[in-house]
Amino acid sequence: MPNRKSALIAAVLVMLLLLSAGFVFYLYAELSAASIGYIQYYQQSQYLNATLQQVQATTPKVTIALQFTPTPPTKTVKPNTVTFLTGYLTVTNLTEVYTPALLTANFTVTHTCTNPNATIQYSWIPYQQVYLLKGIQTVEIPAGIFPLSIYNVQPGDTITIYMTATVQILWQPVNAVMATQTVTGEFTIHVVT
């Protein structure tokens, strides 16, 4: 009887050993296939990144001209006022741009005030985009600040608002940068009675 019991235990242990060995071989095969797939993906990703860097490096660069025009550049307001400012950005010298291209103008706004107790709050359109096709020479982009809230000011105070536009032109097939340039426009606000 004890021999039969030992033989049964030995047979069960051998079956468990064979079963676990089968799982190990199966999992090893799956792991090998997954790691080969990952290595191929990684190599392809590296190749595509190198190709993209090469395209970026060889993309023709162009020189553009920017001008920001405040309309009007000077404004008078009464104390504790909500108002607006407008202007436009002119981008020229676009004849050398490879098309199709995407022109993006990103706007930021800062200010200074002669009165340190003044409260100046504003919102603006943060960016504008224009698709450029062959033959476009000039693009005019509107820019505005609204609402422009001016509080705690006195007659004689002067507020200067700076609107900075950074223009980037991307060659669309590969999103390669052809030009980047920045210009700042200045608005002057005089507080009157």
Every domain of the chain and the residues it spans: 1-58, 65-191
Report for 10-14, 19-23, 43-47, 186-190: range of highest mean pLDDT: 186-190
Nearest by Cα to 102 from 181, 165, 163, 177: 177
- Residue 55 has a pLDDT of 72
Q: Classify 152 as helix, strand or coil.
A: coil
Range in 41-55, 123-137, 169-183 with the lowest mean pLDDT: 41-55
Please, which pLDDT band fits residue 134 given cuts at 50, 70 and 90?
A: very high
Q: What pLDDT is recorded for position 2?
A: 66
Provide the pLDDT confidence category of residue 1 given band limits of 50, 70 and 90: low
Distance CA 104, CA 171 (A): 12
| pLDDT value at 160 more than 80 | yes
* Cα–Cα distance for residue pair 193/77, rounded to 1 Å: 8
Q: Which of 104, 73, 106 is nearest to 87 (CA)?
A: 73
Mean pLDDT of the chain: 91
When pLDDT is averaged across residues 119-134 and rounded to a whole number, the result is: 96
Please state which architecture CATH assigns to domain 65-191.
Answer: Sandwich (2.60)
- Alpha-carbon span 145 to 108, nearest angstrom: 10
Number of other CB atoms surrounding residue 136 within 10 Å? 16
The rounded distance, in Å, linking the Cα atoms of 10 and 67 is 89
Return d(Cα 146, Cα 102) in angstroms, integer: 26
Does residue 53 register a pLDDT over 80?
no
Q: Which residue has the higher pLDDT, 177 or 6?
A: 177
Longest CA span, the chain: 115
User: Tens digits of per-residue pLDDT, 7-20?
Assistant: 888 888 888 888 88
Q: What is the pTM of this model?
A: 0.73
